[in-house]
Structure 1
């Protein structure tokens, strides 16, 4: 079996070093004495095995690493043309449109378009009209079934995910913006705790078409509130840098939105009442009789939906500013500039809301969704104002009437108003022209009269000279 073997006798605890080339040490208990016999042996098979391994090791030369595959490039998002993150629900889409479509289907959301249901959807305008965005998702081929199947798959294979806490800190510029907006809001809209509440018993127990006493009080307070909203707008950074026409357009378009948002933040659910800026507190019936009419329950429902958001004054101010400075309003001269002013407001509200509620990341999108609800209420409010004109004995207060001339809600009415305004301007110009003509004519008459007197005086002098010469 062995090519060679050499037995060496060893004494107790005595060790021999065998260093012959290719030899191994083999210790074995001796049956004849208590020591150990050490056998030095070499095996041709072992040597052959070692040589084979050495040869094979030399032959294994590491090859150069293959280049990594190029990253996959997807087509732009079919919905908004933003950068795509892959194929979701059947089409190439970005993360934003993927999440929007999934939430809309899972929650059975019903959206409303406040225009002609043909809004342009791109990465800048995609958040402005949820109705048209969802329709665009369907048009490009997103599948409802894919959302349902994805949801069922997640239910079957639930894996615990480790969510890393995100750090939300406002930059210096955003911190300054938040402080300015918050200060502007608080100085133009006192909080509920700062008001001394008082009530009235006028028509508090039953609904009537219109309580003229309550209407007079409500219209007076609304006029004051509109003035405060204009003051709030002028304090917003960058607002006064817009053209005068754009400032007026934004105020007229968003005034009713902000008015509704402000009154709804002063809702007291325990008494089902709302409090105005002077402390006047009205219940649901009195609000109906003050002029809200069929709009009352819709406004109170919206106020109830605001309660879970638990917005503070800063968030209410930022949301009001976002409502106001919005580039999708009609007839803007510089919509891109308005959009640019709105971007830091959106970022500030997102970071502030996340910092205030670290465990509720969904609060920011829920706040933005309230803007859509506000626009719906404002549209119905403008419609209510039209019917209200037939119920009140006198004219609508001028400032309220001016603010309710909303071009988005009443295009035809605005056109007629513009026509009337143009006629008025033309008439004014005509009157001015006539006045100038009258002034010119009067001057000519005066000049002729003076000339006549001068000629008369010359004649008298000539006559006297002739008389004295005689």
Structure 2
């Protein structure tokens, strides 16, 4: 065959393909107009969505008739069992359905490609959102850690005479039942909640022995770590109440988001104080290492991933704005237990994520900056996997040595 004949044959084949493309596509399930192949079969958007939902249902459908219903566009909603059977009979495959995580990842990739199609600049609304979040963070994050000295002493501090003198008075940081902060006053207020507090030890709060049964303290740094954790949780609560989008939610959803996200936000805040060269949290004049958490009763299957996460996140060299946006993304997580208004919270989280992505693209100059956003999101996912283990270990510590503050126990409780 000559070159000219081959070209003519190729042209004819292309024309035939174009004619086929122009022919109307019919859904093989219901006969409606199809818009492409879905899960290995030509279907309409409606039958595509039905098949995805049906495959994720734990229970099976039952036909109210004789299991031989004819499925059409007009009656396809009447018998789900026969409609699903028709989907399967034309070759739709369950294994081709993407997981929710994969769908979300693909959605973000599509949005990112659209955003990167033109130079990115923060919008006025995004600038205002960042300003609000930074202000809330700055007002509630103790960068100098000056308040840390108010807590019961850490065990290793008492080894020196000077520290013994410093802690002679044994001051304590009060605990508080977390949701009492909403009992009085404006939910947006960041004022102190000391009037609603209950004592966690009183004059004997600094003693290193347990008063019940004459038994010695098992976890020697628990008292100080408990005070420190309680204080940091209180700052997260005050931080969230300064965010207008959070205040607009129902109290029930606010509680659910705080219960679900506080551990992750505290982790993010502590990372801002972490020195990845020494493995030490530098809190003003006070320094902490992972051994302090171990002596508070936490075990290696939590502490090991915590350390890895801190090293990974710190080595991203995040800007303060990126840390702040990361905190807010963790707070507005629509799939926390007890959340009711998921759509609204999901919208807030999406807005925050897009703002973070836009900030990175517009403010950073590194060649690999496009990798930073997925790395931050991966860190957030990693922190979330530790959340359940943290709650489990806190309850184990409380069973052995019941000194955990009411605030911490309230945050990790499952009921809302």
Which TM-score applies when normalising by structure 1?
Answer: 0.49
The 1-side partners of 2:25 and 2:360 are apart by: 35
Hey, what does 1:287 align to over in structure 2?
293
Matching residue within 382, 386, 393 for 1:373: 382
SS at structure 1 position matched to 2:281: strand
The 2-side partners of 1:380 and 1:178 are apart by: 32
SS at structure 1 position matched to 2:399: coil
Q: Does 1:400 align with 2:352?
A: no
The 2-side partners of 1:286 and 1:211 are apart by: 13
1:286/1:170 Cα in 2 relative to 1: closer, same or farther (>3 Å)? same
The 2-side partners of 1:166 and 1:271 are apart by: 42
CA contact (8 A) 2:259 2:411 kept: yes
SS at structure 1 position matched to 2:287: strand
1:348/1:210 Cα in 2 relative to 1: closer, same or farther (>3 Å)? farther
1:298/1:204 Cα in 2 relative to 1: closer, same or farther (>3 Å)? farther
Query: Displacement, 1:339?
Result: 1.5
1:72/1:373 Cα in 2 relative to 1: closer, same or farther (>3 Å)? farther
Q: Does 1:250 align with 2:257?
A: yes
Query: Displacement, 1:246?
Result: 0.7
1:239/1:200 Cα in 2 relative to 1: closer, same or farther (>3 Å)? closer
1:333/1:280 Cα in 2 relative to 1: closer, same or farther (>3 Å)? same
Hey, what does 1:319 align to over in structure 2?
326
Q: Does 1:188 align with 2:140?
A: yes
1:30-429 equivalences under 5 Å are 139-141=94-96, 166-191=118-143, 194-195=144-145, 202=156, 212-276=219-283, 279-294=285-300, 295-358=302-365, 359=367, 360-392=369-401, 394-405=402-413, 407=414, 414=415
CA contact (8 A) 1:91 1:140 kept: no
Structure number with higher relative contact order (C-alpha < 8 Å, ≥ 6 residues apart):
2
CA contact (8 A) 2:120 2:358 kept: yes
Query: Displacement, 1:165?
Result: 8.3
CA contact (8 A) 2:220 2:295 kept: no
CA contact (8 A) 2:140 2:236 kept: yes
Output the aligned Cα RMSD: 4.1
Query: Displacement, 1:232?
Result: 0.9
The 2-side partners of 1:118 and 1:300 are apart by: 39
Query: Displacement, 1:311?
Result: 1.3
Hey, what does 1:431 align to over in structure 2?
none
Query: Displacement, 1:355?
Result: 1.9
Query: Displacement, 1:298?
Result: 1.8
Larger Rg: 1
Residue deviations 1:139-166 (CA, integer Å, cap 9, x gap): 44389xxxxxxxxxxxxxxxxxxxx985
1:280/1:342 Cα in 2 relative to 1: closer, same or farther (>3 Å)? same
Query: Displacement, 1:331?
Result: 2.0
Query: Displacement, 1:89?
Result: 12
CA contact (8 A) 2:122 2:359 kept: yes
The 2-side partners of 1:181 and 1:70 are apart by: 52
The 2-side partners of 1:320 and 1:400 are apart by: 19
Residue deviations 1:145-199 (CA, integer Å, cap 9, x gap): xxxxxxxxxxxxxxxxxxx9851101101110011112212222244xx457999
CA contact (8 A) 1:274 1:283 kept: yes
Which TM-score applies when normalising by structure 2?
Answer: 0.55
Query: Displacement, 1:330?
Result: 2.2
1:274/1:177 Cα in 2 relative to 1: closer, same or farther (>3 Å)? same
Point out where structure 2 has 5 or more consecutive residues left out of the alignment.
1-17, 28-34, 43-55, 59-92, 99-115, 160-215
SS at structure 1 position matched to 2:396: helix
Query: Displacement, 1:375?
Result: 1.0
The 2-side partners of 1:311 and 1:72 are apart by: 52
1:327/1:401 Cα in 2 relative to 1: closer, same or farther (>3 Å)? same
